[in-house]
Amino acid sequence: MRRVVAGNWKMNHGPSETRAFLDSFEMPTGEGVPRVLIFPPSVSLAAAVAHPGRPGGLELGVQNIHFEASGAFTGEVSAAMALDAGATLTLVGHSERRHVFGEDDATVARKAAAAAAAGLTPVVCVGEKLEERRAGDLASVLLRQLDAVLDLLPGTAEWLLAYEPVWAIGTGETATPADASQAHGILRERLAARGWSGPEVPVLYGGSVKPGNARELMDAPGVDGVLVGGASLDPTDFSAIVEAGRR
Ligand code: 13P
């Protein structure tokens, strides 16, 4: 499977900074390069789409959508709107959406299903909090989050999964490659047990990925790529992480 390197800019890089990023981002090309995805803030999407120096092959997504198609939902955007604006993917269920904005498993699942129905590829994020991990609940949390999505997602959907342990996000604490492999194994086993027979689902690792640890994480069994927060804001660092994913 072709590796995937994704950058989630979170609430960083407005339109001007997005243009500046793309002016200096050198996207690795040639044999074995990963797919490269960037998730800018929605208001910066147009700047990225229209940028004359946008590297060919760079895929753009939004960080969140609403599950309804339209209506009185102040501040929200729908999957169809994001698609119309030039996004081809959306993050769904990022831990900050779950834990800062209170999205529950059912909401995340509805968003994933709405994205897929509109033709926007969902990148479904799952992950356990530190206290859940310490309590031995890693598998039960991941499976609860995954099952909710599998209950609603059509079996033909193209989608990606991202394992992002909450304790490793923005903390400088990285899961070890073995931790990542273990969690990815849990997710893959469940996909198989639930009879997933749609398109192959790449499973990414996210949480304090940097140029210095990206390669060993992507080399870990079961890890198909990375979802990068802080280090994706810097064009040189992000380029180095993409290069680290070259097979
Ligand atoms: P950091 O890479 O900053 O830890 O963020 C990870 C993340 O949340 C990506 O979605």
- Whether the pLDDT of residue 172 is over 90: the answer is no
Cα–Cα distance, 91 to 124 (Å, whole number): 6
Percent of the chain beyond pLDDT 90?
97
For the cut 90, the answer to whether the pLDDT of residue 53 exceeds it is no
What homologous superfamily does CATH list for 4-244? Aldolase class I (3.20.20.70)
Contact 90, 157 (CB under 8 A): no
Domain ranges of the chain: 4-244
The verdict on the CB of residue 228 being under 6 Å from ligand 1 is yes
Query: How far apart are the CA of 229 and the centre of ligand 1, in A?
Result: 3
Residue of 170 and 136 predicted with greater confidence: 136
- DSSP three-state, residue 37: strand
Report whether residue 209 contacts ligand 1, using a CB cutoff of 6 Å. Answer: yes
Assign 122 a pLDDT band (cuts: 50, 70, 90): very high
Residue 12 and residue 18: Cα distance in Å, rounded?
9
Backbone angles phi, psi at 22, to 5 degrees: -70, -25
